[in-house]
Amino acid sequence: MTDSQARPAFLRDAPLAFQRIREYAIFLLEPDGTVASWNEGAQVIKGYSDAEIIGQSFSRFYTPEDLLAGKPAEILSRASRDGRVEEEAWRLRKDGSRFWADVVVTALRDPDGTLRGFVKITRDLTARKLAEKALRQSEERMRLMIDSVRDYAIFMLDPTGRVASWNPGAERLKGYTAREIIGHSFERFYPEQELRAGKPRLELEIAAREGRFEEEGWRLRKDGSRFWANVVLSAVRDERGVLVGYAKVTRDLTERKRSEEAVIERARQQAAVAQLGLFALEHPDLDAVIDRAVTTVRETMGTELVGVLELSEDGKSLVLRAGCGLDVAAMGRVPIELDGVAEAGYTLSSAGPAHLDERRFRMGGFLDAHRGGSRVTALIRGSDRSREAFGVIEAHSRTERAFGEDAVNFLQSVANVIAAALERRSMEEQIRIAEQKAVEERARASQIREALRERDEFISVAAHELRTPLTALQLKLQTVERGLKMGTQKPAAGSSVEPRLEGALRQTERLSLLVERLLDVTRIAAGRLDLALETFDLAALVRQVADDFREPAARAGSELRLEGPQALQGCWDRLRLEQVLVNLLSNAVKYGAGRPISMRVERAGERIRIAVTDQGIGIAQADLPRIFTRFQRAAPLRNYGGLGLGLYIAKHIVEAHGGRLEVSSRPEHGSTFVVDLPIVAVRAAGPEQAAARVRA
Ligand code: ADP
């Protein structure tokens, strides 16, 4: 059979084009399935040349499985029955390899209906099939992957933002099951505020415009809780570029954000504590440090109420020492009793920082007015062993807040700075006391040295003072003795025992007076300068003393003038006042020799003033305060003798009467000593004793 003979008549003029088509195998089958024609496409796809295949059964294109199933015959019978069969299936090439074929078999009939054969058009879809398979596999893998991802919410949105797919990660993250959320708008993941700002829509717009949108922000879970999310939204377009939806990948970064924030917060807290420590170093004032600590806590922790409560000495109550947001009027005044339920009490007894969320604690006392919210309390250690705790510092937020470990540590650090400041203050106090003691010791040592010096000087002065009358006494007694011895034989001419004995007596009196003054000093030192009060005329006493001095004054070249009332009755110690007057006048004569001396007595109300004025050497301003003290002398000993006791004793006598002894003086111009006395001695040795001694 030649080619032209085999070819059916209706195909004879078939366009050459069919023959040349390479993408499709187009060939004819006899009614029994014998290959009757073969084009280039058939050769390319199936691998047989015309010669090899024409006249062969088309069944060789079928796989062994299809052959076993009788597929070739079935196809032909279906095509003959239905006119056309189309299928996609595996076929074999000449080399035995398989290809995925799209096959259309069409029955060819004569106009009278006689079956003449079949046209078979086969396309090699292996590449498409493989691509589809690869796609399917990759989709499957993708799906598996997406399903296995639990840390990311991966889901699709349709172009309007409705959830179109949902993975287990999304369920875990957001709390919705696929059934609950698919079909609902993704807007429900956004907090109210962001919704109002139109954020979800905006994000879709940006993703649609730019292909992608990424951000970090707060999102809501099904239960309403918030989480910090990293969100990537990608626009999904089909091959024609039409937006078919969005892929959204969301990750929960709450923990990361929290730890980032915690790091920042911790750094902020550490900086605040460092600054407070620096402040405490620079400011020794404890109150300033405590005030600063309160502000530091408020600003760093953001708590509205902060209080430093100091424990009382007996440890039974607390007092608000400093604070903010609390009742200022109560500060330092109102004690807060410590009992088991007050939180400060708990902190003090547990001796550690306390984060007291537990409702069973209250703040105690007037602080209970600030109920609610959350609190942290830390112990402020005491500065010494006797006081283990100074008190507590409390930070109180009006709103419910979970204070973390960092916040508690921070508050404890602030408390420690206060404790350090306390310790420093206590150490400074100890140093101050020690220094003061040292100063006092030094002062005492120098006082002792001075007293020793005074004593030595006094001994030499006293020896000198005592020697003068003693020498005189000795001389006089020797003369008397000599006289007496001679008198047994023959009294010396012109020598008489009597005046010498009188002289000796005077020296004895002078000696006993000196001894008496020394005893006075001892009495004053022992506080036993008793007054023997009596009522007498002071004016008369002054006159009498002045009279006694008129002669010695005249001898010293001084005229003695007296002015004053006739009589001045009062109650004093006569002998002691006489002693004072004698002392003042003898000083006036001694230091004002050659110049007039005046005495003036006057009464002013219930007081009496006696002024003794001389115009002598006067006293330097610097010496004025010390001339009234023991053994103090301002005049040179060489020119002016004296124990330096007169004014000391006089001042004590006057003061024992409730009076004052004062001096005004100008060097080279003279001095005025004024005795100012109450009419009735008021300060004698107690009123009863004084009254008892009054000799009316
Ligand atoms: P004294 O025995 O040394 O006179 P006083 O106690 O009476 O002791 O006086 C103390 C010192 O006061 C005297 O040493 C003298 O320097 C000074 N003084 C006292 N009275 C006068 C006075 N009228 N004029 C100048 N100096 C005086």
Do the beta carbons of residue 495 and residue 479 sit within 8 Å? yes
Q: Which two tokens stand for residue 3?
A: 């080619």
The pick from 633, 673, 674 for probing ligand 1's pocket by mutation, whose C-beta has the most ligand atoms within 8 angstroms, reads 633
* CA geometry: angle 429, 434, 440, nearest 5 deg: 125
> Which residue, of 415, 440, 465, is where some domain finishes?
440
Do 226 and 351 lie in a common domain? no
User: What pLDDT, on the 0 to 100 scale, is given for residue 539?
Assistant: 95
Amino acid at 614: D
The 10s digit of each residue's pLDDT in 379-424 is 888 877 667 788 889 888 888 888 888 888 999 999 999 999 988 8
Do both 618 and 680 map to the same domain?
yes
- Residue 8 pLDDT greater than 70, yes or no: no
One domain for residues 20 and 110: yes
Residues 108 and 189 in one domain: no
Domain of 679, CATH number, reads 3.30.565.10
Find out whether 680 and 690 touch, Cβ atoms under 8 Å: no
Atom of ligand 1 nearest to the CA of 634: 16
Sole residue written with tokens 């006395």: 677
Q: Out of 51-65, 285-299, 520-534, 677-691, pick the least confident.
A: 677-691
Query: For 130-140, what is the mean pLDDT?
Result: 84
> Are residues 111 and 223 located together in one domain of the fold?
no
What ligand 1 atom has the least distance to the C-alpha of 670? 24
* Same domain membership, residue 687 and residue 540: yes
Flag whether pLDDT at 5 surpasses 80.
no
The finding on whether 643 has its CB within 6 A of some atom of ligand 1 is yes
Q: 644 CA distance to ligand 1 centroid (A)?
A: 7
Confidence band for 693, pLDDT divided at 50, 70 and 90? very low
Amino acid in position 337:
E
Residue having the nearest C-alpha atom to atom 13 of ligand 1: 633
Q: Is there a domain that residue 626 lies in? A: yes
Instruction: Name the one residue in this structure whose structure tokens are 């598996």.
Output: 144
Give pLDDT, residue 33. 94
Checking if the pLDDT of 6 tops 60, the result is no
Question: Is 278 within the bounds of a domain?
Answer: no
Residue at 508 is within a domain: no
Q: Does the pLDDT of residue 102 top 50, yes or no?
A: yes
Does ligand 1 have an atom closer than 6 angstroms to the CB of 667?
no
Domain count, the chain: 4
The rounded distance, in Å, linking the Cα atoms of 497 and 475 is 13
CA of 591, closest atom in ligand 1: 24
Flag whether pLDDT at 563 surpasses 80.
yes
Task: State the chain's mean pLDDT as an integer.
Answer: 85
For residue 112, what is the domain's CATH number? Answer: 3.30.450.20
Ligand 1 centroid to Cα of residue 619, in Å, is 8
Question: Are 404 and 544 members of one domain?
Answer: no
In the predicted model, is pLDDT for residue 681 greater than 70? yes
pLDDT, mean of residues 155-159: 93
Q: What is the CATH number of the domain that holds 290?
A: 3.30.450.40
Q: Does the CB atom of residue 634 touch ligand 1 within 6 A?
A: yes
Tell me whether residue 552 is in a domain: yes
Which of 385, 419, 440 represents a domain boundary (last residue)? 440
Q: Tell me how many degrees the CA angle 195-199-205 measures, rounded to the nearest 5.
A: 135
Q: Is residue 461 part of a domain?
A: no
Window from 79-88, 323-332, 337-346, 663-672 with minimum mean pLDDT: 337-346
Q: Is 616 in the pocket of ligand 1 (CB under 6 A)?
A: yes
- Domain boundary among the residues 382, 417, 440 is at 440
Mean pLDDT of 194-216: 94
Ligand 1 atom closest to Cα of residue 673: 23
DSSP annotation string for 371-404: -SSEEEEEEEEEEETTEEEEEEEEEEESS-----
Answer whether residue 443 shows pLDDT above 60: yes
296 and 381 fall within a common domain: yes
Mean pLDDT, to the nearest integer, of 14-31? 82
The 10s digit of each residue's pLDDT in 464-493 is: 777 777 887 888 788 877 777 776 555 455
Question: Are residues 615 and 668 located together in one domain of the fold?
Answer: yes
Phi/psi region, residue 387 (left: phi>0; alpha: psi -120 to 50; beta: rest), is beta
Three-state secondary structure call for residue 118:
strand
What are φ and ψ of residue 40, in 5° steps?
Answer: -65, -40
How far, in Å, from the CA of 140 to the mean position of ligand 1? 126
Rounded CA-CA distance 409/484 in Å is 108
* 602 and 680, same domain (yes or no): yes
Query: Closest ligand 1 atom, CA of 645?
Result: 6
User: Is the shortest distance between the CB of 587 and ligand 1 below 6 Å?
Assistant: yes
Q: Which residue owns the Cα nearest ligand 1 atom 4?
A: 642
Centre of ligand 1 from the C-alpha of residue 635, in Å: 7
Q: Is 619 in the pocket of ligand 1 (CB under 6 A)?
A: yes
Q: Determine, yes or no, domain membership for 567.
A: yes
If DSSP codes are grouped into helix, strand and coil, which group holds residue 533?
strand
Residue whose CA lies nearest to ligand 1 atom number 8: 644
| Candidate from 647, 651, 665, 671 with most ligand 1 atoms within 8 A of CB, to mutate | 647
Are residues 103 and 27 located together in one domain of the fold? Answer: yes
Which ranges of 556-627 does DSSP label H, i.e. alpha helix?
574-591
Give residue 684's pLDDT. 44
The owner of tokens 């009939």 is 109
563 CA to middle of ligand 1, Å? 23
Residue 355 has pLDDT above 50, yes or no: yes
Cβ(579) to ligand 1 under 6 A? no
CA 361 – CA 345 distance, rounded (Å) = 10
| 606-644 pLDDT per residue, tens | 999 999 999 999 999 999 988 998 777 777 766 676 777
Q: Which of 591, 597, 599, 638 to probe ligand 1 with, by most ligand atoms within 8 A of CB?
A: 591
Nearest ligand 1 atom, CA 616: 24
Residue 261 in any domain: the answer is no
3-state secondary structure 483-518: HHHHHHHCCCCCCCHHHHHHHHHHHHHHHHHHHHHH
Chain segment 255-298, per-residue pLDDT in tens = 888 888 888 888 999 999 999 999 998 888 899 999 999 999 99
Q: 600 alpha carbon to ligand 1 midpoint, in Å?
A: 20
Q: Which residue, by CA, sits nearest to atom 17 of ligand 1? A: 634
| Residue 555 banded pLDDT, cuts 50, 70, 90 | very high
> How much distance in Å is there from the Cα of 194 to the middle of ligand 1?
100
The b-or-e profile of 240-273 (16+ CB within 10 A means b, else e) is: eeeeebbbbbbbbbeeebeeeeeeebbeebeebb
Cα-to-centroid distance, 627 and ligand 1 (Å)? 7
User: Does 572 contact ligand 1 (Cβ within 6 A)?
Assistant: no
Best probe residue, ligand 1, of 627, 629, 654, 674 (max atoms within 8 Å of C-beta): 627
249 lines ligand 1 (CB under 6 A): no
Helices (H) and strands (E) in the chain, counts: 20, 21
Domain assignment of residue 449, yes or no: no
Q: Residue 450: pLDDT above 50?
A: yes
Average pLDDT for 151-155:
88
Query: Could you identify the atom of ligand 1 that is nearest to the CA of residue 649?
Result: 6
For atom 11 of ligand 1, which residue has the closest CA?
633
Q: Domain span at residue 48? A: 3-128
Cβ of 671 closer than 6 Å to ligand 1, yes or no, is: yes
pLDDT of residue 436: 94
pLDDT of residue 685: 44
Question: Ligand 1 atom 25: the closest Cα is on which residue?
Answer: 618
Stretch (H or E) spanning 326: none
Higher pLDDT, 610 or 319: 610
Pair (173, 121) in one structural domain:
no
Index of the ligand 1 atom closest to the CA of residue 647:
6
pLDDT bin (cut points 50, 70, 90) of residue 363 is low
- If you measure from the C-alpha of residue 445 to the centroid of ligand 1, how many angstroms do you get, rounded to a whole number? 28
Query: To 5 degrees, how large is the angle CA 59–CA 64–CA 65?
Result: 110
